Amino acid sequence: MSVTVYKNARIFTGSGDILENGLLAVSHAHTQFVAPERGKTPVKVAASLKDKLEYVGAAEGYAIPEDAEAVDLAGCTVLPGLIDCAARLDTLHPEADDYVDNIGTAYRTFVSYRAAAEALNCAVTTVRAMGMPNNIDIGLKNAIDKTMFFGPSILTCGPIYAVTGGCGHEKYGLVMASGSDELRRAMRIHVARGLDGVVLQVSGKPLDSLNGEYHQEMSTKEIHDLIKHAHGAEKKVMTVASGDPSISTCIDAGADTILEGRRIGKENLTVMAQKGISYVPCMVNTPEEFSIEHKAVVAEAIKAGVAIGVGTETLPSQPVDGTVAVVKELELLVECGMTPVQALNAATSGAAKIAGSKAGVLAAGKPADFIAVEGAPDKDIAAMRSIAMVVKSGRRAFLRAGGKNENAFRIMLPGYEVAGGATIDWTRGAVQGVIAPESYNDKWNLYKEI
């Protein structure tokens, strides 16, 4: 077992402590796949990354082994890897036709892995993926967990459940049905496949006929029935909801998280704080015409003590105002009244509680997911624009500090930057509109799950 030591850094632990001149030690226990002897039955065991944080604390409290690798992070702050509580890894270029799955599940999976790789490159070590049917998110999670590929941890929410013809029906990624029975049937199938959580599309857009109020598209019965069913399967539920009628229904039904929440009254915010219902506003993805009101709601939520998590509802790596979406969301939370420390918590320890992640805190025995940034983001959130290092599962993706310039994580040849988000149109020139042949195996698996 080898050890890597990261020294001379400020450490933001995610649990309320900031250590000056701190030290982190990572113990490596990488289990390699060993081929069986000739004539012996192969053992189906994949290589695994079991690296853990061995020590996090003051430098004088740890004796560095003679054979340890030492990385000097002077001038940097180390903090837990960022957690995106609501990302759409298959977000395509704005001009791409995404009404139906024109590009096919196989190609969409590769597009999604590219997005996951970009997310890791911009310091996101855990992604809660949403709006991804056809088991794409589950496939990504399995491939990364089993070290087939390297990437951020994936928490799966599968498709978004919505009423037939409701909000978002024009975009791929929804399962639409009418009535509790139909919606529950669809949910059972996806939950059986291994989802970590569930997302419901509750609200539509503001309607003139409702004096500008957001339309609650999913019925009260459907919301209650679906949340009850998800909780019965021990799955957390995020509801995409705005407007007090929808928010009140979600609160009464026991939703775990309100997603978007572009309009929420003070009374409902107070109840959310009291009941521990979290809020993932995703302001970075809010259309301009709703932005002012949305920011005002977030400001009131901060004052009310609502637990807020960072989410993007798009690609974490999407370029926005000279940075990327996940960092811009942090900046927007500070603009709404959070301190930089509160904003960092919303992307680390707070986000871990909301999303159900084991990461988010730097402490001995915890996952070795952490990043380093130049400067002090706990004092100036703009420092998050200067990512110097990303470590996932104890292995460095890249390091640009201490006189080193390493880039160990590559899905492309040197010279090609893995970035850009949805500014790149991966659908242009790709084969589209081809109907996949009916698969007996797919139908049989579906029947078995029902």
Q: What is the DSSP string of 78-89?
A: EEEPEEEEEE-T
Phi then psi dihedrals of residue 423, to 5 deg: -75, -15
Q: What is the pLDDT of residue 439?
A: 55
Distance CA 120, CA 390 (A): 8
Distance CA 266, CA 30 (A): 50
Fold category of 2-80+364-407 in CATH:
Urease, subunit C; domain 1 (2.30.40)
Extract the tokens encoding 101: 């799955």
Helix, strand, coil % in the chain, rounded to nearest 5: 30, 25, 45
Q: What is the pLDDT of residue 450?
A: 43
- Written as tens digits, the pLDDT of the chain (450 aa) is 689 999 999 999 998 889 999 999 999 876 555 666 777 766 555 556 778 999 999 999 999 999 999 999 999 999 999 999 999 999 988 888 776 667 888 899 999 999 999 999 999 999 999 998 789 999 999 999 988 999 999 999 999 999 998 888 777 788 899 999 999 999 998 899 889 999 999 999 999 899 999 999 999 999 999 999 999 999 999 999 999 999 999 999 999 999 999 999 999 999 999 999 999 999 999 999 999 999 999 999 999 999 999 999 999 999 999 999 999 999 999 999 999 999 999 999 999 999 999 999 999 999 999 999 999 999 999 999 999 999 999 999 999 998 889 999 989 888 888 899 999 999 888 776 655 555 555 554 544 444
Q: Any idea how long the chain is?
A: 450
Q: Give me the residue label for tokens 């509801």.
A: 239
Distance CA 209, CA 339 (A): 40
How many other CB atoms are there within 10 angstroms of residue 356's CB atom? 14
Q: What is the pLDDT of residue 445?
A: 52
Q: What is the pLDDT of residue 448?
A: 45
Distance CA 393, CA 355 (A): 18
Q: What is the pLDDT of residue 441?
A: 52
Delimit the CATH 3.20.20.140 region(s) of the chain.
82-87+118-123+160-355
Please name the residues in contact with 445: beta carbons below 8 A apart, sequence gap of 6 or more. Answer: none
Question: How many whole angstroms from its chain centre is CA 27?
Answer: 26
Q: What is the pLDDT of residue 447?
A: 47
Within 217-278, where are the H helices? 220-232, 244-253, 266-275
User: Directed axis angle between helix 288-304 and helix 266-275, to 10°?
Assistant: 50
Q: What is the pLDDT of residue 403?
A: 86
| Short-list 136, 116, 118, CA closest to 127 | 116
Please name the residues in contact with 396: beta carbons below 8 A apart, sequence gap of 6 or more. Answer: 389, 390, 406, 408, 409
Distance CA 217, CA 239 (A): 12
Extract the tokens encoding 442: 């797919």
Delimit the CATH 2.30.40.10 region(s) of the chain.
2-80+364-407
* CB-CB contact of 388 with 374 (8 Å): yes
Query: At the top level of CATH, which class does the domain 82-87+118-123+160-355 belong to?
Result: alpha beta
* CB-CB contact of 273 with 306 (8 Å): yes
Q: What is the pLDDT of residue 417?
A: 86
Q: What is the pLDDT of residue 413?
A: 87
Within 98-243, where are the H helices? 104-121, 136-145, 180-192, 220-232
